[in-house]
Amino acid sequence: MTPAINAVRKARVPYQVHEYVHEAGSQGYGLEAAEKLGLSTEVVFKTLVVSLDGKGLAVGIVPVGGKLNLKQIAKAAGAKKAAMADPQDVERVTGYVMGGVSPLGQKKRLPTFIDESARALDTFHVSAGRRGLEIELAPEALARLTSARFAPIADI
C-alpha cells in the first residue's frame, strides 16, 4: 500500500491499480509503464516537479509521450520561469523516489497542473507511488483530490 492508494481509498474515488515488473536499468519510467501495461502513451501520464522562480515547487502531469513545456507551466502558475526541480528536493518534498512520484499522497501538497489533453479521457494512469505501480482514475477525480487545474502544459 502506498500513500497514493490510501488517498484514493480514503476519498472513495473509483480507481484501479495496475502492477508490472520494473526493469532496474530503465530510465523512461512512464514509457516503460505504457509498454509493460500495453497502453497508449496518451493515457499514461508522468508526474514532474518544477521549481518556480520565487514561488517554490509545483507539479506538472503530462502524457508520457510528450514533454512538459516549462514556459507554459510557469505561465499557468503565475511565475516568470520554471525549471526542473532538483531530484533530492523532489524526493524530500513528495516522499516518493524518482520514477515513482505520484501526484497523490505527497508529504507536502504542491500546486498541481494537469495537461488539458487529459480532459478528453474517461480515465488515465499516473504513478501509484512506486516504480512498477500505476493507478487508473478519472482525470476530474485526480484534479479534485489534488486541487489541480487543467492547463495546456505539454508539448505532445
- 56-112 pLDDT tens trace: 999 999 999 999 999 999 999 999 999 999 999 999 999 999 999 999 999 999 999
What confidence category does residue 55 fall into, taking pLDDT thresholds of 50, 70 and 90?
A: confident
Q: What is the pLDDT of residues 104-151, one digit of tens each?
A: 999 999 999 999 999 999 999 999 999 999 999 999 999 999 999 999
pLDDT of residue 29: 87
pLDDT of residue 93: 96
In the chain, what are the domains? 3-155 (3.90.960.10)
The runs of H, that is alpha helices, within the chain are: 3-11, 29-37, 70-77, 87-94, 139-146
pLDDT of residue 54: 75
pLDDT at 23 over 90: no
pLDDT at 26 over 80: no
CA torsion through residues 110, 139, 87, 11, sign: positive
pLDDT of residue 77: 96
pLDDT of residue 53: 92
Question: CA-to-CA distance for 131 and 125, rounded, in angstroms?
Answer: 13
pLDDT of residue 45: 97
CA nearest neighbour of 7 among 137, 125, 114: 137
pLDDT of residue 133: 96
153 or 22, greater pLDDT: 153
Instruction: Write the CB contacts of 48 (distance below 8 Å, at least 6 apart in sequence).
Output: 59, 60, 61, 62, 68, 84, 101
